[in-house]
Structure 1
Amino acid sequence: MNIWDQTWQWLSRPGRWSWSDPAGIPYRTLEHLGFSALSLAVAAILTIPFALWLAHYRRGAFLAGSVVNIGRAVPSFGLIILVWYLASRWQFSTSFWPLLIALVALALPPLFANTYAGVISVDAGAVDAARGTGHTETQIMLGVELPLASPVILAGARVAFLQLIATVAIGAIVNDGGGLGRYIVDGFAQGAGGYGEILAGGVAVVLLALACDGLFSLLTRLAVPKGLTATTAVRARAL
């Protein structure tokens, strides 16, 4: 049986398209998205307020550059294995927290760097005008700098989320869930008989990543505040 026949046979099995059966593609897709979205949300809560404050007061430029370099250097799989090993040594649960902690750590650099860069690039005239009309520093950060920097911040979230989508699949090695990556790991465990499952799982992850990329692109365009110049919007999407 060739790989195409294996794939078709695997896709045709009962429950494969169920929303409630753990073997179902819709079920695993939601699990994949849920883990990725949770990790992005935690990383955003930990990162964006701090980066916004640093950028507003023009502090931490060296830190922003260092975070970017560290984020590019840390291998995703190595970080997952390290956290899993530490959790197992300290007798913590290894079915959820190691993958979540590793994913949050991976999402921090692009969110921090883009938030900082976005706020730094806000037109100084807009900030001075808000300050001149009696706005407090907090009001300026939340009402002026954050909205104007939102396209750049969303561009960082887009990069982070796509990285998370890919890493959740790898994390199936150490996580009982693992989303769509579960198919790839289980397929490899079967040897030659699992090639169809590996192919289907890999294609599903790619399609999910493309769909999320398209949604984030649309969200970034919708988030551009009225009055923001086209040049700034293009620059934000390019980051």
Structure 2
Amino acid sequence: MGVLGQLITAWRYLLAHSDKFLELLRQHVALVFSSVFLAIAVAVPLGILATRNERVKGIILGLGNIAQTIPTLAIIALVFPLLGIGFLPAFVGLFTYAVLPILTNTITGIEDVDDGTVRAAKGMGMTDWEILRKIQLPLAVPVIFAGIRTSTVINVGTAYLAFFIGGGGLGLWVISGINLYNMPQVLAGAIPGALLAITLDSLFALVEKQLNGEATQADGAVTG
């Protein structure tokens, strides 16, 4: 059977099991977005804190780098004795992977704000907190958002591993399909995930472009 024939067969399989597909897709999306949202809530404040203290920055980045080097399945195995199987341990693994890109981009975005812009703000009588809130963070938003974009797209793929811990998601079809040599099932699980990643990346790219334009305008307003 050619590629086109396999795609047609996969489409028919998906239509025949549409209720199950929607359930797995919902689980997959829930894993991705919940882990990324928590990563944003944790990584952005930690990134801001890191830019205020070099020692703290070294510790935070060190821990983040260590967490990133541990495979997701290893993280799941480590939390399994504490959290058991299901959504939660899979969520913890995805959250761990989502943190570092957002954290590093938050630090980079704030630290890369032009010194001239910061000096201009100080010349206007702004405090350090006001400079952070009104100047550095708004200008850093495009860079921070790029980290969020990276984390989200990575987690769409990583969420397939949730199958191994009973966390649901499209990995159920892909991995069980491989074990059963059921190629239509594999493709019906893999292709929607790929399309989801491409779609999210494209949408985030558009938002990122808009944010870059707004940041450029804001920078000009301060230094102009």
Q: Which residue of structure 1 aligns with residue 177 of structure 2?
A: 187
Q: Which residue of structure 1 aligns with residue 193 of structure 2?
A: 205
Contact 1:68 1:110 in 2 (8 A): no
Change (3 A) 1:128 1:59: farther
Aligned-CA RMSD value: 2.5
Contact 1:77 1:167 in 2 (8 A): no
Q: Which residue of structure 2 aligns with residue 217 of structure 1?
A: 205
Q: TM-score scaled by structure 2?
A: 0.83
Q: Which residue of structure 2 aligns with residue 105 of structure 1?
A: 96
Match among 45, 69, 73 for residue 77 of structure 1:
73
**In structure 2, what residue type is equivalent to 1:184?**
V
**In structure 1, what residue type is equivalent to 2:199?**
A
Q: Which residue of structure 1 aligns with residue 221 of structure 2?
A: none
Deviation at 1:209, TM superposition (A): 0.8
Change (3 A) 1:175 1:140: farther
The answer as to 2:15 corresponding to 1:12 is yes
Change (3 A) 1:148 1:62: same
Contact 2:68 2:96 in 1 (8 A): no
Contact 1:58 1:120 in 2 (8 A): no
Contact 1:64 1:113 in 2 (8 A): no
1:14-49 per-position Cα deviation (integer Å, ceiling 9, x unaligned): x51xxxx3x134x43333222211111111111101
Q: Which residue of structure 1 aligns with residue 35 of structure 2?
A: 39
- The runs of 4+ residues in structure 1 deviating greater than 6 Å are none
More contact order relative to length (CA 8 Å, sep ≥ 6): 2
Unmatched 5+ stretches in structure 2:
218-224
Match among 157, 160, 182 for residue 169 of structure 1:
160
**In structure 2, what residue type is equivalent to 1:44?**
I
Deviation at 1:216, TM superposition (A): 1.2
Change (3 A) 1:129 1:223: same
Unmatched 5+ stretches in structure 1:
89-93, 230-239
Deviation at 1:171, TM superposition (A): 0.8
Report the number of matched residues. Answer: 214
Tell me the percent identity: 28
Q: TM-score scaled by structure 1?
A: 0.78
Q: Supply the distance in 2 between the matched residues of 1:40 and 1:159 (Cα, whole angstroms).
A: 10
Query: Greater helix share, 1 or 2?
Result: 2
Contact 1:148 1:225 in 2 (8 A): no
Report the 3-state secondary structure (helix = DSSP H, G, I; strand = E; otherwise coil) of the residue aligned with 1:226.
Answer: helix
